[in-house]
Structure 1
């Protein structure tokens, strides 16, 4: 199955929560009045598009309805799809690479979001592309994190730099960069801690890691990838703001998109923070991490409003 098919299948719960309710509103309304737009906004908010983004989205649709002199509710479906596509952008946002190896990708996020698994899948993908990969186990707070990363390193055929539990995470990253230079590796993937209960210490730790990377490789990290669990909805948006302030996030990997009714958070992230979603997780397999295709996302999300059969 291609990306669009997988995405459409994965968005079933979100479509149930968002698109089909919008479809019922369009079909059951006779007027484009305040009640119609209030209900549309409520549907968007409950699909975790977020209050601010939902309000702004509905206001833009109101303006378009007025300017285009639209009077029939069903026509609003296409307007909604247009606005969602505008928010997400047309272009695929790809991972950034250094012109000269190694490329350093700092991977951040809270525990349980799928950070280590995402790193493993990325390592596997890069190895399949013929790249030499080093994994840096910089989450030294949890012994299980290093063990999990070691399993992924073996599965993906990647190198692993790991210190004892409780070691300085920045020292692990320093050694990983030196190892990458010595082995002529193409990419260093850095796993980091995600214990938000001590978020001040965590953010300081992440800043220190970043300083070490910048010192050892001017211009690095080339990507700061934030892993978010789509099933957490608006909590994911709060995490994005927090990590962005501390680390300068350049891209988002959204996991568990195939198991959530809260896929609308993709819009909130794009509209409120402006960080591009670069990768999406659509399953548990090694090759289930895909580049995010914004136009495909909008099309898959609103396919039922376009009158597709078999919905």
Structure 2
């Protein structure tokens, strides 16, 4: 799991208190409450991955190029040890925004939970969900990461999300893996999820690309769309032809409620995806960083 963000020379005290940029880092803490921000010399994890924030912010940078580096580092952590990201090479004024973008891309490693998803029941659900994925296949790996990321987006958008919504986020694309989506509910029954929750999950999964007047369904659509842009779009653009990618960007943007589109300004997009998204939005130009949007 991703547990710590380590910063050099940013005015952070050993106890993690900020002496500089309190507003920007307060927002970071609000969005990622389980991540501890510390100075490098106060790190308590031996698994530290150094990342150059200037590289991340460079024109033409595609965040896809970092994925195996970061996900691989998390996979390589010994059991019981978390991963810490050490950010360097960025001015103080830009570091909080860069950290927000990086944590957003890799939030599937954060694994935040709430009262509905704490405990052994959700542990079992995660275990069964993982077992559905053959991680020797790159496209299945991408699906698994997207599922975890969509779940994390749900919790960012709705910190008190109920169990059904969180489970639906995990299993919303289960039809890509199974011949019958109902199998997901059978798995939930096996680990002890009650019938009412299972039926709610079934309903949400079956309609997750058809927004209706249902708050949870709208949240699931928002989370799914945001996950595409924040995590999957770069790989999608590499794998599919330009026109297919353009249609996917337009379709996904339409699924994202206008009230949530501001979050796209805090997502690091590959240049090609940025151009397609700005084209789809129209005359609006997305800011390059959180600081530029402030």
Instruction: Name the TM tier (shorter chain).
Output: 0.3 to 0.5
TM-score (norm 1): 0.33
Q: Which has the larger radius of gyration?
A: 1
Relative contact order, higher structure (CA 8 A, sep 6+) = 1
TM-score (norm 2): 0.34
